[in-house]
Structure 1
């Protein structure tokens, strides 16, 4: 093992992402639909916390732990990995059908790399969300 990988060979530096919501039921319904097309499901389901993933809790949705209102980070977004361009397209369609606001239709993003293909939406709380392949 070298210094760039964790035990077991995982090159990722991320364990999970957590977002706050002011509309828990609406947010979880949105992510149930939008993430299903990427092969993610609820892997943790508690009364006020839901975590999604393909194998482990990678993406968490819950009201802020401090009890204050959730707010959207200016300049932040998170991206979900898709297995194909078709899956990016399906994510975009599912997200819009579940109440997302469009922020960038699926398509090539040459500024991010020659093979980069992605889309952007805003979830019900206004968080900027991307799916990319």
Structure 2
């Protein structure tokens, strides 16, 4: 069976060739639990601005981040379980801006901007660890390097 790759928002689907029905955004939003709400909100507000996000809602100690299409990330004060979240960037420069802004805002380096051919050709990403140990990634798909 031949498969085609379909990108919907930040989700990549592999579907049988010729069958693209039913492709939609699969995840509406994600909660990222943080220990220090005010510090984390300020951090994500600064860092995610490099990827086009703004705070669209705030309820108690929970802030929703809007990317122009959906409020898909919530930073919430709750017990922390470190996780990994990847945000799609519009360009290589946006990945680099995300990385340098995150380091300037207090994040720890977890992988400098660069191609990650072990993930897939054209996968250009950078990784940082936030204050709670969450592995936060910005990725740009360089379709010119995919083969």
Aligned residues: 121
Q: Which has the higher contact order (CA 8 A, sep 6+)?
A: 1
Q: Which has the higher strand share?
A: 2
Q: Give 1:8's aligned residue.
A: none
Q: Which has the larger radius of gyration?
A: 2
Q: Paired residue for 1:112, among 100, 119, 127?
A: 119
The Cα shift of 1:2 comes to 5.9
Q: How does 1:80-95 map to 2 (within 5 A)?
A: 80-95=87-102
Q: How does 1:3-82 map to 2 (within 5 A)?
A: 3-5=21-23, 11-55=24-68, 56-64=70-78, 69-72=79-82, 76-82=83-89
* Structure 2 counterpart SS, 1:37: helix
Question: Which runs of no fewer than 5 residues in structure 1 stay unpaired?
Answer: 6-10
The Cα shift of 1:14 comes to 1.2
Q: Deviations over 1:5-45 (max 9, x none)?
A: 2xxxxx32111111111110110111011100101100112
Q: Which runs of 4+ in 1 moved over 4 A?
A: none
* Structure 2 counterpart SS, 1:111: coil
Q: Deviations over 1:65-116 (max 9, x none)?
A: xxxx3232xxx41100100000000000011111101000000011111111
RMSD (CA atoms): 1.5
Deviates more, 1:53-62 or 1:80-89: 53-62
Q: Give 2:104's aligned residue.
A: 97
Question: Which runs of no fewer than 5 residues in structure 2 stay unpaired?
Answer: 1-18, 141-147
Q: What is the TM-score normalised by the length of structure 1?
A: 0.85
